[in-house]
Structure 1
Amino acid sequence: MIQRLKKFYLENVVPDLYKQFKYTNIHQLPHLKKIVINCGFGEASHNSKFLEGTIQDLSIITSQKPIVTRAKKAIAGFQIRSKMPIGVCVTLRGDTMYAFIDRLIHLALPRLKDFQGLNCKSFDGRGNFHFGIKEQLIFPEIHYDKIEKIRGMNISIVTSCDTDPEALCFLTSLGMPFDA
């Protein structure tokens, strides 16, 4: 079964991008490579329940089991020892990536309070877009009664675009809400 957003990309976005950027080859077309969701925390060293709750929330949101990221070296100022868990990370590709971004665009982002759009300046210069979310409650899969603590996350959308204006046009045509 093909995802709704992927079908929209193939039927509507591809012909528009061909006209706008005058591509000569199908391999020049921009596409989504992966989406990386990272949730860092400092309290896991003191509370292992916090780590389990973060893993559970992120696996519900992404439909994929996250991996635990660990500290590479000890930092005394932050009370971190080497190989201590400091966050969780999920990399989405393929149909799960399209399903996640579809839910993000159409269900989660409109639930943000006073949402005016994502900042256009959050591109990294290579066509990738990064932004943060302050709470996991915007996703409809998360129930308010079952969370222990509000957690934020960083989302990185990696595209095959070479420039930021090309990536902005591509993500806008997919439906990403950017501010003016």
Structure 2
Amino acid sequence: MICSVTPRLKQEYKDRVISALKEEFGYNNVMQVPKLEKIVLSRGVGAAVADKKLIDHAIDELSNITGQRAVATISKKDVASFKLRKGMPIGAKVTLRGERMYEFLDRLVTTALPRVRDFNGIKASGFDGRGNYNLGVTEQIIFPEIDIDKVNKISG
């Protein structure tokens, strides 16, 4: 028999957040309450134009952080000033949904963000007006899954 444990933040959302938002904003139905749909982590690797191994390192680091395989992002057009051709890998991304999304968010909030130097909370200016939030991280070493000794270059 397989026993799965509901992530802590997901349980908190179901138990307290939904009822609090319904009461505060006067929602009639549970389906009106905003919820997390997905978390997308992406990383641009501009130097990958010259060195293809950097993409593999970026994919490995994102995979270690999230627990899910990352994919390379491909350039859509030629940019002569960057020596970039259409179809070249220029970054990595991973999309988290469901249980992994809540587990990652929990680790981000409780473990990774407190390790950021001079962290004063997240800024409200990160919202785009459509319910999306954008958070930039300057160093990948804030995540405990990243081994500092194996990092080639510190980047976000």
TM-score range normalised by the length of the shorter chain: over 0.9
1:15 to 19, 22, 28: 19
- Structure 1 residue runs of 4+, over 6 Å off? none
Q: TM-score, normalised by structure 2?
A: 0.95
Report the equivalent of 1:51.
55
Question: Which whole-Å CA distance do the structure 1 matches of 2:77 and 2:56 have between them?
Answer: 23
Question: Which whole-Å CA distance do the structure 1 matches of 2:45 and 2:151 have between them?
Answer: 16
Deviation at 1:50, TM superposition (A): 1.0
Q: SS of the counterpart of 1:89?
A: strand
User: C-alpha deviations, 1:93-143, integer Å up to 9, x for none?
Assistant: 000000000000000000001100111111101111111001110001111
How many correspondences in the alignment? 152
Q: TM-score, normalised by structure 1?
A: 0.82
Task: Give the aligned residue type for 2:103.
Answer: A
Deviation at 1:62, TM superposition (A): 0.7
1:33 is the counterpart of 2:37? yes
1:80 is the counterpart of 2:84? yes
Q: SS of the counterpart of 2:125?
A: helix
Determine if contact 2:68/2:94 at 8 Å carries over to the other structure.
Answer: yes
Report the equivalent of 1:104.
108
Question: Which whole-Å CA distance do the structure 2 matches of 1:74 and 1:3 have between them?
Answer: 43
Could you tell me which runs of 5 or more consecutive residues in structure 1 were left unpaired when the two chains were aligned: 153-180
Report the equivalent of 1:131.
135
Q: SS of the counterpart of 2:90?
A: strand
Report the equivalent of 2:120.
116
User: C-alpha deviations, 1:24-47, integer Å up to 9, x for none?
Assistant: 011101100101111001111211
Provide the alpha-carbon RMSD of the alignment. 0.8
Deviation at 1:146, TM superposition (A): 1.4
> By percentage of residues, which structure has more strand?
1
1:70 to 68, 74, 83: 74
Q: Which has the higher contact order (CA 8 A, sep 6+)?
A: 1
Determine if contact 2:18/2:30 at 8 Å carries over to the other structure.
Answer: no
**Fraction of identical pairs, as percent:** 47
